[in-house]
Structure 1
Amino acid sequence: MPDAPQITKSSWLMILLLAFIWGGTFLVTEIALTEMPPFWIAATRVGFAATVMIVIWGLRGFRLFTQSPTRGDIAAVIFIGAASSAVPFSLLAWGQQYVTSGFAGVTMAATALIILPLAHFFVPGEAMSPRKVIGFALGFVGVVILIGAQAFESTGTALETQGRLACLGAAGCYATSSIIMRRLPAVDAIGLATILLIIATCITAPMAIIIEGLPPRPSPSIFAALAFLGLIPTAAA
């Protein structure tokens, strides 16, 4: 049995930093949408993160799989690259044109509730239990209370329903990719994160060009917002 992880002050500091970065995502996305189209926001996020991660991965020797991957493993990595970054980032950026940032935040909190039944059926040793269900439910209720009931208020926009469905779709993508990632063979975490971001960039950049054309030149404040958004996948890695 592996030793229990040692939780130090640095551990709590990293958790707080990650919470701050993730929590600011939805507000900063709304700011970025004032000048940038949604699909270019998604492409910029993963492109910035991929660039940073390539440098870090190179310093670690470009390690990835500890054994030769099968075709199924390679296909799974490509799918995870799309489902963990490219598709959900695009859906969130598009959906937040029509929903509140609070609703998007609550939707992302529901990701754990989607993972729970998926893990029960597809991940050995992750069967649902009353304790897990209660824990996830209490956590979700806590997020709703912290964000406030205004997260569910209508914005009155014509595509609000589609925007909400896009946010829910993003949560489903995160949950599905998380389950498939758990089924991969032994792999270097930094290497995997980098490959996934490269795949996501190769998907989102052409898609943004096809749908929205060349990107507008962002102002310094919007450039800073885009850089902040690029920190999220980097910090998660």
Structure 2
Amino acid sequence: MSNTLLSYALLILLAAIWGSSFLFIKVALGSITPLTIAAGRIALAGVILFVIMRVSGHHLPPRGRHWLFIGGAAALGNVLPFSLISFGERHVDSSLAAIMMSTIPLFTILMAHIMTDDEKLSTEKSVGVAVGFVGVVILIGPAALLDLGAQTVGQLTIACGALCYALSGIISRNLRHLPKLQSSAAIMVVAALMIVPIALIYDRPWTLSPTAIGVTSVVMLGVMATALAQVVILWILQMRGASFLSLNNYLVPLFGVFWGAVFLSEWPGTHVKFAFAIILLGVLIAQGGVTKLLHPRRKDVRKPVT
């Protein structure tokens, strides 16, 4: 298999794995609390990635300022989003949760404008973000935003998880100087040290009565949707880089909807499909996709919005 075919196969595999996480969360919620689900998957993934790192002959990063960014990435890239998505899915279908993740690139563009000096909003990015968030409003429903019921709160909670992912991505740019396997293992270990005590104190998981399928779902989340996914990410980054990996923003929600429909009979309504299409259109515009399609040889020079 050529490197090109292998990279696309890995990209599809990663999207399928990540997309399945929303299904496993929904199933686990039948007998396990949200914090315990998040703590279980993070702890399992932390152990696995640490072992892989050590077997590969590496150690955790040395002392230094980068541990502040590792802590930030652990909290914003794992602890908070895993917990928020699990809480949100108590009231929201897994397929809808997956669709909400398509907003990550929009949040990333907005946060990069605020937090960086060299990634300011251009006219094209501004239009794309505006279109994308119109899709979010359609998805949640304008009336629902005025009357915050359980499902609306669940959707907004998941959207906050997407925002956390975006912030984590920006913070993680400060770890580029570290070997990726070391930083990934360190982030997951720190995330486990953060959330496991919280889950033990607030959830008291030993008082729960989890079903076999619930425990299996948490194991699948930790081993496959977190640890294995991270290994695939590192492989893709080594082969094709971050720009190629970002194509997952389009694929993960599609797989999330697919798994929810196949295993949970969650069939999105017409307005959900329409909203999803609007969000993806916004992401495409914001990432310069329309300009590249119309002017494939034109140099991308965009004036920042002041």
Report the TM-score, using the length of structure 1 for normalisation.
0.80
Equivalent AA in structure 1 for residue 50 of structure 2: I
**Paired residue for 1:225, among 214, 217, 221?**
217
**Identical-pair percentage:** 28
CA distance in 1, matches of 2:17, 2:99: 16
Equivalent AA in structure 2 for residue 15 of structure 1: L
How many residue pairs match? The answer is 220
1:51-130 superposed matches below 5 A: 51-63=47-59, 65=61, 70-71=64-65, 73-123=66-116, 125-129=118-122
1:143-182 superposed matches below 5 A: 152=140, 159-182=150-173
CA contact (8 A) 2:175 2:183 kept: no
CA distance in 2, matches of 1:63, 1:188: 10
Equivalent AA in structure 1 for residue 230 of structure 2: A
Shift in Å, 1:222: 2.3
Q: Does 1:40 align with 2:36?
A: yes
CA distance in 1, matches of 2:11, 2:128: 19
Equivalent AA in structure 2 for residue 236 of structure 1: Q
CA distance in 2, matches of 1:9, 1:136: 32
CA distance in 2, matches of 1:233, 1:183: 22
Q: How has the CA–CA distance of structure 1 residues 171 and 46 changed in structure 2, closer, same or farther, with 3 Å as cutoff?
A: same
User: Deviations along 1:71-96, whole A, 9 cap, x unmatched?
Assistant: 3x221211111111011101111111
Determine helix, strand or coil for the equivalent of 2:30.
coil
CA distance in 2, matches of 1:42, 1:171: 15
Q: Does 1:203 align with 2:194?
A: yes
CA distance in 1, matches of 2:140, 2:4: 37
User: Deviations along 1:70-129, whole A, 9 cap, x unmatched?
Assistant: 43x221211111111011101111111012222211221101111012223434654444
Task: Give unpaired runs (5+ residues) of structure 1.
Answer: 1-5
CA distance in 2, matches of 1:19, 1:135: 23
CA distance in 2, matches of 1:236, 1:133: 31
CA distance in 1, matches of 2:94, 2:126: 26
CA distance in 2, matches of 1:184, 1:55: 21
Shift in Å, 1:134: 7.2
Shift in Å, 1:55: 1.2
1:26-37 superposed matches below 5 A: 26-37=22-33
CA contact (8 A) 1:98 1:157 kept: no
Q: Does 1:189 align with 2:180?
A: yes
Q: How has the CA–CA distance of structure 1 residues 52 and 217 changed in structure 2, closer, same or farther, with 3 Å as cutoff?
A: farther
CA distance in 2, matches of 1:157, 1:201: 32
User: Deviations along 1:159-204, whole A, 9 cap, x unmatched?
Assistant: 3233222111111110001101113350111111111111111111
Determine helix, strand or coil for the equivalent of 1:8.
helix
Task: Give unpaired runs (5+ residues) of structure 2.
Answer: 232-306
Determine helix, strand or coil for the equivalent of 1:102.
helix
Determine helix, strand or coil for the equivalent of 1:34.
coil
CA distance in 1, matches of 2:96, 2:29: 16
CA distance in 1, matches of 2:120, 2:38: 34
**Paired residue for 1:15, among 4, 7, 11?**
11
